Amino acid sequence: MRKKHLIIAFAFMVLAQLAFPLKMILEREFILLKGETFLFQIEPLDPYDAFRGRYVNIRYHNNKVDLPIELQNLKDIKELYVTVEKDSSGMAFYGKITKKKPTSTNSYLSQKADLFYEYSYTNMPRNLWIDLPNHYYMNENKAPLAERLISEAYAEVVIYQGQAILKGIQVKGMPIEKYINTLGKDKSH
């Protein structure tokens, strides 16, 4: 009888340990499935991490937005919401900034107001810094070439109800991995 209880307790412990990473994976997949994909212009950085390997670290070209005058007193605001829209060429741009979650769209970002602003000469917050995912992991051998291509690249970011996921990097309309592979094939001919 005691052995049966130990087996049941062990099974619950294993399920509990699997539940947390499974929840994280399912949340990410849900955002990728339901969210809208936006293209952002990016700039390169070239990091290497001994534990995580080589990755492409990107900086977004347009990562801050002017705060409307009515939101420039951030003392009582903990979180702001920024809608994201597309221009005629499909590039992302920031729309309205609000104190409440937008109800007219699911394409908005949630930003901590106390972390991402810059002060003007009046000592009032003037700009909201937009925090987007900036690490893109890829094959260690391809990452250095990818870093050199970033100036021609765009980040594909999926946005859904305040969350953002870096889906990929595009160069000349194709995923960066595929573009690098085509460069390798061109050199072999």
Which residue, chain included where needed, has tokens 């917050």? 125
Mean pLDDT, the chain, as a whole number?
Answer: 81
Who wins on pLDDT, 150 or 109? 109
Confidence tier at 114 by pLDDT (50, 70, 90):
low
Count CB-CB contacts under 10 A for residue 185: 8
Q: What does the block give as tokens for 10?
A: 């062990």
Confidence tier at 44 by pLDDT (50, 70, 90):
low
169: Cβ contacts below 8 Å, ≥ 6 apart: 42, 56, 58, 136, 146, 150, 153, 154, 155, 156, 175, 176
Who wins on pLDDT, 99 or 158? 158
Q: What does the block give as tokens for 156?
A: 């594909």
Candidate ranges 16-25, 32-41, 94-103; pick with highest mean pLDDT: 94-103
Rounded Cα distance, 44 and 58, in Å = 5
Region 93-104 average pLDDT: 91
Q: Evaluate if residue 51 carries a pLDDT over 70.
A: no
- Give pLDDT, residue 29: 87
State the pTM of this model: 0.76
Confidence tier at 48 by pLDDT (50, 70, 90):
low
Number of C-alpha atoms within 13 angstroms, CB side, residue 109? 28
- Give pLDDT, residue 121: 56
Confidence tier at 152 by pLDDT (50, 70, 90):
confident
Region 169-175 average pLDDT: 90
